[in-house]
């Protein structure tokens, strides 16, 4: 599902014989030399009341509920800048290490990844071969199921998930049992898929965005339904609940140069946190996390795997 963009595609995009979901994916993907039509991209920051009414979006403070697909909720700026840096730092420094698992486990142990590692005091430390990390129940990507192996979900992720559930009051109890952390470079994308391996298909999925903005598409239970496209910014919370929990969704585009933390701090009147720091071994400080997020997107999505009566 997680793919690197193909570069230098100069030919016009061909839409013949594509289902509506695939057509939307191709529409928003980055193609070198071609201009993307973002006219249908929903950026709730730029909608007036009439436009929201026309598109079936209901605003209550920072919360935006969508009529289609039913159960999609966007909360703008749910995580403040301190939260974003604190959680991103943990993703970069801790959640990619054992006992947690990353995509690197599928490669041979003698594989040389040195060429993918960025280690620069003026930038950050990270192995850009890492595409995802998994904490909690360890999802079996080949067989699309959850075996019994699991790690404890770290308290900071449990905390933001519980905070999201308490804020929206979608259900009485919510426990993050499996967490996927996706690391996107600026031209990466995630193809459309269903999150249908969990026995609990009723509890919501909470998805948190960090760094570069993205285009998120979500449609219906099949790819024959036309999806909508929503712009997600750093700090946003996106929720798939109810009907939307069972719908196809994906990220066809990460928007390069969309996260400028220095400008963000000026707008929010936040003290300047950008004093350069040295890497302490392979450990990133706040300075390095800011730099990483200006070039990448991190997405954390949490879900319950088992219904309470089936939990093992």
Beta strand 63-66 pairing with 249-254: unpaired
Kind plus residue range of the DSSP H or E element containing 288: helix 286-293
Beta bridge partners of 178: 136, 303
Residues 28 and 231: their CA atoms lie apart, in Å, by: 11
| Distance of alpha carbon 301 from alpha carbon 295, whole angstroms | 20
- Label residues 14-29 b or e (16+ Cβ within 10 Å = b): eeeeebebbbbbebbb
What tokens does 265 get? 């701090």
Residue 195 annotated in ligand binding: yes
DSSP 8-state class, residue 280 = B
119 is an annotated ligand-binding site residue:
no
- Residue ranges of the annotated binding site for Fe cation are 193, 195, 249
- Residue ranges of the annotated binding site are 193, 195, 249
């Amino acid at each position: 599902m997680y793919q690197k963009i193909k570069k230098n595609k100069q030919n016009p995009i061909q839409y013949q014989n594509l289902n509506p979901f695939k057509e939307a994916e191709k529409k928003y993907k980055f193609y070198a030399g071609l201009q993307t039509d973002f006219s249908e991209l929903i950026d709730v920051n730029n909608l007036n009341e009439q436009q929201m009414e026309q598109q079936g979006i209901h605003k209550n403070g920072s919360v935006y509920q969508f009529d289609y697909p039913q159960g999609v909720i966007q909360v703008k700026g749910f995580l403040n800048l301190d939260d974003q840096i604190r959680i991103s730092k943990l993703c970069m420094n801790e959640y990619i290490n054992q006992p947690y698992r990353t995509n690197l486990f599928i490669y041979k142990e003698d594989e040389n990844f040195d060429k993918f590692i960025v280690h620069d005091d003026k930038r950050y430390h990270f192995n850009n071969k890492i595409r995802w990390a998994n904490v909690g129940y360890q999802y079996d990507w080949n067989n699309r199921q959850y075996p019994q192996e699991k790690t404890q979900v770290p308290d900071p992720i449990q905390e933001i998930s519980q905070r999201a559930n308490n804020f929206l009051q979608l259900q009485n109890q919510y426990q993050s049992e499996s967490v996927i952390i996706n690391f996107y470079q600026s031209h990466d994308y995630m193809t459309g898929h269903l999150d249908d391996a969990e026995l609990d298909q009723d509890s919501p999925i909470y998805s948190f965005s960090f760094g570069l903005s993205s285009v998120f598409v979500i449609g219906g239970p099949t790819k024959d339904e036309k999806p909508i496209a929503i712009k997600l910014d750093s700090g946003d919370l996106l929720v798939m609940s109810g009907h939307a929990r069972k719908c196809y969704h994906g990220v066809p585009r990460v928007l390069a140069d969309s996260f400028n933390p220095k400008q963000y701090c000026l707008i929010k009147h936040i003290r300047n946190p950008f004093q350069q720091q040295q890497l302490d071994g392979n450990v990133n400080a706040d300075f390095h996390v800011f730099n990483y997020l200006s070039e990448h997107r991190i997405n954390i999505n949490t879900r319950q795997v088992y219904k309470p009566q089936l939990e093992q």
